[in-house]
Each structure stands twice: as structure tokens, then as C-alpha cells.
Amino acid sequence: MKAKALWINQIKGLCICLVVIYHSVITFYPYLLEMEDTHSVFLAKCWVYLNLYMAPFRMPVFFFISGFLITRYINDVPWGNSMRKRIWPILYVLALWGVIQWLSLVSINQWLAPEKILSTSNAAYSETTADFVARMGTASTSLWYLYAMIVYFPLCKLLSRYKAVLLPVIMLISIAINFFPTPFWGMNSVIRNLVYYATGAWFGAQLVPWIKTHALRDNLLWFTAAIIFSFAMYNLKINLFLSLLSIVLIMRVFWLLEGKLQPTEHSIMNQLGTNTISIYTTHRIIIEALSLWSLSLIKGDVLSTPVILGILLVYPFISLAICTAVGMAARKVSQRLFSDILFTPPLPVATQSPAR
């Protein structure tokens, strides 16, 4: 990977970490809020609320970078090549891992928590194939990020000539979906985050150089006004402006850190950024098993109170370490043993190299 792209890749590493932590929290701590120990409940609430406050900083920068990285495909690459390289691989991974996640999560729950009432809104908990297909079709899946990538790219490529007019409209839609949601939680997320992908795809080529060259201290007045305005809108349940501000801040920080720390391809954040797809597709399965097992120990009076408090304090970081390690290992196994078929669609027979 070129050195100039390392800082972008490291931001992707940060984003996937935040995604793993998010799922680690929502599958674990809400089930502990009725515990008798007040200290345990306090720690559980802290993680739940912290997770909520991290929402404006988690996915927006992920989508902005995803859009920024496909600018060339939108502007210069023909439709045929674009669809073959940007849509088909993601569709393949979404379909394959949607099925793997569904079969895995249902089996894990039958094994570790047969009494648990499974969600009826997530494709991964579907009871029938028809339910699974219907929920996947409405983005009601933990893999909704991949669904969004499939929708966003052709939409942004098709409408790129009207970007100056359409971006304000997309911003309004992103705000409106918070107050007038669809019946499908995944689709709401897809609609809400389009603005960040479109901003990166349509204007990232201008914004990224601006972020690199404009120091915040030279624009302190405007930056302070932006913070005040963003938090005022956030208090009105409008996250858009705080999310846009977070994109600028996170990218500026990582750009400065690259100049000071000079990261390499082997740095941990870069490795995480390189393996975002494998971590993203595998982590939900690991989290399900880990959370159900941990909850059974905590609620089964197997552990002492100090041990439980210690687990509650650091559980998301333990989960993060396990999920990222498994995700990266899965990619290596897929590459070495199965021609990466778990994360890359197989080549048509006609295009494969003949055996020697």
C-alpha cells in the first residue's frame, strides 16, 4: 500500500473497532440493567450511554472514506467495469455471509440460550428462508453496511452530474429519516448515511486536500461556531452536523499523526483497516457466542462480584481483541486454503489461469 494511503486505512481501522465495540455493548450490557448489584448496573449504564453518544462518530467517517475511495470509479471508469469491481464482490460477500451469519446465530442461540426470544426484525434470527430473504431485501441485517455499499455506488455514479443540487436534498432526507422512519431499522440506517458516502464520492477530492492544509488554529472562530451549532442541533436530535464535523476532525487528527508517527503497513491500525471486510462479516457471530456465554456465567452466580465488575469494565475491549484476531485469521485461512472464496467471488472458469 502506498504510504500516502496509510492514514486513510488507519481511519478504516478505527471505524471497524468502533463497530465491533458497538455490537459488543448492545448484545451484552442491556441484559444486565436489572442486576441487584448497583455497581454492576452503573457500569452497564455507562457503556450503554457511551455507545449512544458515539453514534455521530462511528459510521459517518466510515461512509465518507468509502465514498472518497471510489471517486475514480464514479468519474472515470465505465459502468461495466465499475459494476464488476464495485458491486458484484460486495453482493457476493453480503449473500454468502448473510447465510453464514443466519445459520450461525440461530445455532448459537439454540445451544447457549434456547429460552431466549429472538428478534423478529433481524435477518440473522429468521425462522424461515422466506423471512430471511425478505429481511435481507429491506437491509434488516447486521450486514447493512454492505447493503448500503451496493445501493450507494450506482446511485452516486448515476447522479454525479447533479451533485451540487442533490447533496442538500440528501442532507434534508438524512435529517427527516430521524423523525419519519421507515418500518425497517436497517433501511433507516442506509438512508441516514447516504449523505456521508455521497459527500466523499462527489466532493472528497476537494475536501480531503482542504482538511490536510487547513489547521484548526487558523480557523478557530469558525471552528468554535461549528461546534456550538453542531451540538445545538444534536440536542434537537439532528446528528448530521456533528457527524460532518467529526469527519473533519478525525481525518485531520490521523493526517497529523501520520506525519509525526510515520505508520507502516504492519502497524496494528493499518492491519485492521486492511481487513475491515473480514472483521465486519465475522465479528457478529463471535460477539453472539461471547455475550451469551458471558451472560450465563454472570447470571449463574458462578463469578464473584469483583470479577463481574472487572469484566463489565473491560468487556468491549476483550471482545474487540477477540473479534479482530478472528477476523484477520479468517482472511488468512481463506486466502491460503480456499483461494479467498470466503471474501472474494470466484473468477469465471473462462478467466482463470490454466493449470500447468
**Average pLDDT for residues 73-90, to the nearest whole number?**
93
Q: What pLDDT score does 353 carry?
A: 47
Give CA–CA dist 329/284, Å, rounded.
Answer: 15
Predicted confidence (pLDDT) per residue in 322-336, tens digit: 999 999 999 999 999
Q: What pLDDT score does 5 carry?
A: 76
- pLDDT top residue among 355 and 112: 112
Give CA–CA dist 132/83, Å, rounded.
Answer: 25
**Average pLDDT for residues 346-353, to the nearest whole number?**
60
For residue 83, how many C-alpha atoms fall within 13 Å in the half-sphere facing its CB? 6
Predicted confidence (pLDDT) per residue in 9-50, tens digit: 999 999 999 999 999 999 999 999 988 889 999 999 999 999
Q: What pLDDT score does 355 carry?
A: 44
Question: Residues 24, 248, 206, CA angle at the centre, nearest 5°?
Answer: 130
**Average pLDDT for residues 107-119, to the nearest whole number?**
88
**Average pLDDT for residues 247-264, to the nearest whole number?**
87
Output the furthest CA–CA distance in the chain (Å, rounded): 68
DSSP state of 141: S
pLDDT band at 354 (very low <50, low <70, confident <90, very high): very low
**Average pLDDT for residues 341-353, to the nearest whole number?**
73
CB 280 within 8 A of CB 19: yes
Q: What pLDDT score does 281 carry?
A: 97
Instruction: Kindly list the distances between the CA atom of residue 149 and the CA atoms of 57, 166, 200, in Å, as whole numbers in the listed order.
Output: 19, 19, 13
Instruction: Kindly tell me the burial class for residue 72, based on how many C-beta atoms sit within 10 Å of its own C-beta (0-12, 13-18, 19 or more).
Output: exposed
Handedness of CA 248, 254, 255, 257 (dihedral sign): positive
Locate the DSSP E strands across the chain.
none
Q: What pLDDT score does 343 carry?
A: 96
Predicted confidence (pLDDT) per residue in 141-175, tens digit: 999 999 999 999 999 999 999 999 999 999 999 99
Give CA–CA dist 143/38, Å, rounded.
Answer: 35
Predicted confidence (pLDDT) per residue in 186-195, tens digit: 999 999 999 9
- Indicate the average pLDDT of the chain: 92
Q: What pLDDT score does 56 carry?
A: 82
Give CA–CA dist 301/342, Å, rounded.
Answer: 39
pLDDT band at 63 (very low <50, low <70, confident <90, very high): very high
Which residues lie below 8 Å from residue 145, measured CB to CB, with a gap of 6+?
A: 19, 59, 62, 280
Count CB atoms within 10 A of the CB of residue 117: 8
Q: What pLDDT score does 133 carry?
A: 96
Percentage, residues of the chain above pLDDT 70: 96
Q: What is the 3-state secondary structure (H, E, C) of 38-82?
A: HHHHHHHHHHHHHHHHCHHHHHHHHHHHHHHCCHHHHHCCCHHHH
Count CB atoms within 10 A of the CB of residue 331: 21
Residue 1 predicted with pLDDT over 80: no
pLDDT band at 302 (very low <50, low <70, confident <90, very high): confident
Residue 298 predicted with pLDDT over 70: yes
Closest listed residue to residue 216, CA positions, set 265, 256, 188, 176: 256
